[in-house]
Structure 1
Amino acid sequence: MKTAKLANIADIQTGPFGSQLHKEDYVDAGTPIVTVEHLGWRKLSNKNVPFVSESDAHRLSKYSLEQGDIVFSRVGSVDRCSQVSENEAGWLFSGRCLRVRPNDPMIDPDYLYYFLTLPKTQEFIRAIAVGATMPSINTSLLGEVDIDLPPLSEQVSIAKVLGALDDKIAANQRTIRDCESLSEALFRKTSATADITTLGKELELHYGKALPKKSRIPGKVTVVGSGGISGFHNEKLLDGPSIIVGRKGTIGTVHWISGPNYPIDTTFWVESKRLPLELLYFLLKSCDFASMNTDSAVPGLNRKNAYQVVVPWISDDSASEIGPLLKTLRARQEHARKENQVLARTRDELLPLLMSGRITVGEAEEAADEAASES
Structure 2
Amino acid sequence: MSGWTRRLFGELISETKDGDWGQEGAAEGFAPFHVIRGTDFEDVRRGNISAVPLRHLPERTVWRRRLQPGDLLLETAGGSRGRSTGRSMLVDQRVMDLFPASVTCASFARFLRVDSGIADSRFVYWFLQQLHMSGAMWNHQVQHTGVARFQYTRFAEVQDVLLPPLDEQQAIAEVLGALDDKIALNERIRHTALSLAGACYESVGTGNEPEVLGDLAELFDGPHATPHKTPTGPWFLSISSLKSGYLDLAESAHLSEEDFPRWTRRVQPQGGDVLFSYETRLGDAALMPPGVRGSLGRRMALLRSKSAAVSGPLLLHAYLAPVFQEEIKRRTIHGATVDRLPLKEMPGWRISLPAEGERERLSEKLEALHTTVMQTADENRTLADLRDTLLPQLITGKLRVKDATRVVEEAV
Which one is further off, 328-337 or 211-220? 211-220
Residue 169 (str. 1) matches residue 187 (str. 2): no
What is the aligned partner in structure 1 of residue 10 from structure 2? 7
Alignment of 1:240-279 (within 5 A): 240-241=270-271, 242-247=273-278, 253-258=284-289, 259-263=292-296, 266=299, 267-273=301-307, 274-279=309-314
What is the aligned partner in structure 2 of residue 63 from structure 1? 65
Residue 222 (str. 1) matches residue 259 (str. 2): no
Which one is further off, 257-266 or 161-170? 257-266
Which one is further off, 120-129 or 138-147? 120-129
Number of residue equivalences = 368
State the distance in 1 between where 2:115 and 2:185 align.
Answer: 31
What is the aligned partner in structure 2 of residue 206 from structure 1? 219
What is the aligned partner in structure 1 of residue 371 from structure 2? 331
Q: Secondary structure at the match of 2:142?
A: coil
Q: Secondary structure at the match of 1:65?
A: coil
What is the aligned partner in structure 1 of residue 328 from structure 2? 289
Letter in 1 for 2:310: L
State the distance in 1 between where 2:341 and 2:367 align.
Answer: 28
Alignment of 1:315-354 (within 5 A): 315-354=355-394
State the distance in 2 between where 1:335 and 1:356 align.
Answer: 33
Kept after mapping to 2: 8 A contact 1:12/1:143: no
What is the aligned partner in structure 2 of residue 159 from structure 1? 173
Letter in 1 for 2:362: I
Which one is further off, 81-90 or 182-191? 81-90
1:175 deviation in Å? 1.0
Residue 79 (str. 1) matches residue 86 (str. 2): yes
1:82 deviation in Å? 0.6
Which one is further off, 24-33 or 197-206? 24-33
- Find the partner of 1:118 among 127, 130, 133: 130
RMSD: 3.2
What is the aligned partner in structure 2 of residue 355 from structure 1? 395
Letter in 1 for 2:53: P
Q: Secondary structure at the match of 1:270?
A: strand
Q: Which consecutive unaligned segments of at least 5 residues does structure 1 have?
A: none
State the distance in 1 between where 2:152 and 2:26 align.
Answer: 26
Alignment of 1:103-114 (within 5 A): 103-114=115-126
1:51-99 CA-partner distances (Å, limit 9, x unpaired): 345x834641011111010011121233111111224274222322111
1:225 deviation in Å? 5.5
Residue 88 (str. 1) matches residue 101 (str. 2): no
Letter in 2 for 1:284: Y
The structure-2 alpha-carbon separation of the partners of 1:315 and 1:10, relative to structure 1 and needing over 3 Å to count, comes to same
1:17 deviation in Å? 5.9
1:163 deviation in Å? 0.1
The structure-2 alpha-carbon separation of the partners of 1:85 and 1:190, relative to structure 1 and needing over 3 Å to count, comes to same
TM-score scaled by length of structure 2: 0.78
The structure-2 alpha-carbon separation of the partners of 1:315 and 1:30, relative to structure 1 and needing over 3 Å to count, comes to same
1:295-317 CA-partner distances (Å, limit 9, x unpaired): 96876544563233333242232
Q: Secondary structure at the match of 1:40?
A: helix
Kept after mapping to 2: 8 A contact 1:29/1:51: no
Question: Percent of aligned positions with the same letter in both sequences?
Answer: 19
Q: Which consecutive unaligned segments of at least 5 residues does structure 2 have?
A: 80-84, 242-250, 261-265
Which one is further off, 158-167 or 244-253? 244-253
Which one is further off, 117-126 or 237-246? 117-126
Q: Secondary structure at the match of 2:150?
A: coil
Residue 127 (str. 1) matches residue 139 (str. 2): yes
